[in-house]
């Protein structure tokens, strides 16, 4: 655990007692603060109290008297679609609102770092799609080459739950827009922006607010190096703002599908080959086509971003390539479940929006597509360009019939349940087909999380195939 510094003897309120909230409260206590904890859920309060934490009703009169700061969990909205009532009360009381990401950046560096031969580094990854795979791939490469690496944030452990980084250690953080939009302190050594597509628009008041939340990692953080995907206008804008000119090698531009030219530092993938260019000359390349853990153009973009991030640490291209080949991928992200009689079953339950699903559809041919769920704002129009790869769609979810109406002339069947969809797809699949779960929707109409949805898909595949 990383004890929180700067609040010794202070009263600090903690709102939300899930993973991040509980860890933040304990880390505050470890640093000498008085953690005052609250959650509207009685079970969550009971769990916190059982772990020795003090429960403090933030709804009572005077609840914020003497409180130095309110630490809120990422899932709690503080502005859109409307402010949480406790956060609004903190504003009224003049109490600053912050989160655990900020506490990490305030507390990770200590005087012990002065004695290290190699100063620890923090690599922070954000973006709409691919940030989990990119973060995990960076961590995997570092681990494979013998660097002390820890993976935390929106993946792995809570940021304050990790061990203090040692000599030469690297902390890899996946950061969601919910985390970056509020943190008052963000100072990564390397910041990575994968891409941007519509998501969480209600939480951020629209696309502009969503991008602004991501941009804060760079604008507020001032990283030593910025790795930025430039396949969308927002990435181009951000890379332009971060650069002082064409030769500024503090910026690494990343792309999947287009060759990047110019005297700067560029990493891109085309036709399955990753290329690194510096000052107009190629200095590295990797054939990604046989890297089984990174199928499809969207994963090639993730590979480029991860490659660029670890290159800033001086790791050689050939060493990175070897580590890529031992990367098994992440559960629920283009995960190969099994192959039977020439039919592949792929679990991409993490494709919770249309853009992510479109990338999955582009990665395979002859797809029997299991899709549907709780549709997000913006619809599913992004998948239209790739419906030619779909042999048939099998639509699940409580609103399956409405979802199906948006698929045009694509052959489809409304199945509603995962079990029925998997059974039908497996029965009708032919050699060379791919049965792909890429829902293009959230899971919450039928499942507690996309992980639960993916686990159900795996269980149904196993039950169907025997």
Q: Which of 206, 186, 184 is nearest to 196 (CA)?
A: 206
Report DSSP state, residue 442.
B
Last residue of a domain, one of 51, 66, 98: 98
Q: In this structure, are 27 and 176 located in the same domain?
A: no
Q: In this structure, are 122 and 85 located in the same domain?
A: no
132 is in an annotated binding site: yes
424 is in an annotated binding site: no
**CATH of residue 17:** 3.40.50.720
Boundaries of domain holding 73: 11-98
Q: Does 404 map to a domain?
A: yes
CB under 8 Å to 358, separation ≥6 — which residues?
382, 383, 385, 386, 440
246 is in an annotated binding site: no
* Buried/exposed 319-340: b ≥16 CB within 10 Å, e otherwise: ebbebbeebebbebbbbebeee
Is the model more confident about 130 or about 422?
422
Structure tokens, 103: 């506490």
Q: In this structure, are 309 and 343 located in the same domain?
A: no
Q: Is 68 helix (H, G, I), strand (E, B) or coil?
A: strand
pLDDT tens across 373-388, in order? 998 877 899 999 999 9
Last residue of a domain, one of 70, 98, 126: 98
279 is in an annotated binding site: no
Whether the CB-CB separation of 186 and 177 falls below 8 Å is answered with no
Decide if pLDDT at 410 tops 80.
yes
Share above pLDDT 90 across residues of the chain, in percent, rounded to a whole number:
89
Cis peptide before 81 (omega within 30 of 0): yes
Q: In this structure, are 299 and 427 located in the same domain?
A: no
pLDDT tens across 240-262, in order? 999 988 878 899 999 998 999 88
Q: In this structure, are 94 and 108 located in the same domain?
A: no
pLDDT tens across 295-348, in order? 888 899 999 999 999 999 999 999 999 999 999 888 898 888 999 999 999 999
Q: In this structure, are 87 and 153 located in the same domain?
A: no
At 290 the pLDDT is 87
**Residue 142: how many other CB atoms lie within 10 Å:** 25
Structure tokens, 310: 């670890």
Q: How many residues does the chain have?
A: 466
Report DSSP state, residue 294.
S
**Residue 262: how many other CB atoms lie within 10 Å:** 12
Q: Does 414 map to a domain?
A: yes
Q: Does 360 map to a domain?
A: yes
pLDDT tens across 20-34, in order? 999 999 999 999 999
Dump strand ranges (E) for 183-271.
190-193, 225-229, 251-256, 265-270
373 is in an annotated binding site: no
CB under 8 Å to 423, separation ≥6 — which residues?
460, 464
Q: Which of 49, 55, 44 is nearest to 19 (CA)?
A: 44
197 is in an annotated binding site: no
Structure tokens, 448: 């507690």
Decide if pLDDT at 200 tops 90.
no
Residues paired with residue 272 on neighbouring β-strands, in sequence order: none
149 is in an annotated binding site: no
- CA separation for the pair 279, 241 (Å, rounded): 20
Last residue of a domain, one of 98, 120, 148: 98
């Amino acid at each position: 655990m990383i004890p929180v510094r700067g609040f010794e003897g202070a009263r600090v309120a903690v709102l939300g007692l899930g993973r991040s909230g509980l860890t933040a409260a304990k880390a505050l206590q470890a640093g000498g603060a008085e953690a005052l904890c609250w959650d509207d859920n009685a079970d969550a309060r009971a769990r916190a109290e059982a772990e020795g934490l003090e429960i403090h009703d933030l709804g009572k009169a005077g609840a914020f008297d003497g409180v130095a700061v309110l630490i809120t969990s990422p899932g709690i909205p503080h502005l859109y679609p409307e402010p949480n009532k406790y956060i609004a009360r903190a504003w009224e009381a003049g109490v600053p609102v912050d989160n655990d990401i900020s506490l990490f950046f305030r507390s990770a560096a200590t005087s012990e770092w002065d004695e290290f031969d190699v100063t620890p580094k923090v690599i922070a990854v954000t973006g709409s799609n691919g940030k989990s795979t990119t973060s995990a791939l960076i961590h995997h490469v570092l681990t494979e080459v013998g660097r002390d690496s820890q993976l935390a944030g929106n993946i792995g452990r809570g940021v304050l739950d990790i061990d203090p980084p040692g000599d030469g250690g690297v902390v890899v953080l996946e950061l969601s827009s919910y985390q970056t939009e509020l943190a008052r302190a963000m100072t990564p050594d390397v910041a990575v922006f994968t891409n941007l597509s519509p998501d969480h628009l209600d939480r951020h008041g629209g696309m502009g607010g969503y991008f602004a939340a991501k941009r804060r990692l760079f604008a507020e953080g001032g990283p030593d190096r910025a790795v930025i995907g430039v396949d969308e206008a927002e990435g181009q804008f951000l890379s332009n703002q971060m650069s002082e000119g064409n030769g500024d090698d503090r910026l690494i531009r990343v792309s999947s599908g287009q060759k990047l030219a110019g005297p700067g530092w560029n990493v891109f993938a085309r036709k399955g080959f990753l290329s690194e260019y510096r000052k107009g000359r190629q200095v590295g390349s990797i054939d990604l086509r046989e890297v089984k853990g990174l199928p499809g153009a969207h994963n090639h973009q993730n590979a480029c971003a991860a490659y660029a991030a670890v290159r800033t640490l001086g790791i050689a291209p050939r060493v990175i390539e070897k580590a890529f080949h031992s990367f098994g991928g992440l559960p629920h992200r283009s995960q190969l479940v099994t192959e039977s009689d020439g039919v592949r079953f792929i679990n991409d339950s993490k494709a919770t929006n249309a853009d992510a699903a479109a990338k999955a559809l582009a990665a395979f041919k002859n797809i029997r597509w299991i899709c549907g769920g709780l549709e997000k704002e913006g619809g599913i129009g992004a998948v239209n360009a790739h419906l030619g790869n779909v042999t048939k769609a099998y639509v699940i979810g409580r609103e399956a019939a409405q979802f199906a109406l948006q698929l045009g002339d694509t052959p489809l069947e409304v199945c509603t349940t995962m079990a029925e969809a998997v059974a039908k797809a497996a029965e009708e699949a032919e050699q060379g087909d791919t049965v792909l779960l890429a829902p293009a929707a959230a899971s919450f109409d039928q499942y507690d999380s996309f992980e639960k949805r993916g686990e159900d898909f795996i269980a149904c595949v196993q039950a169907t195939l025997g």
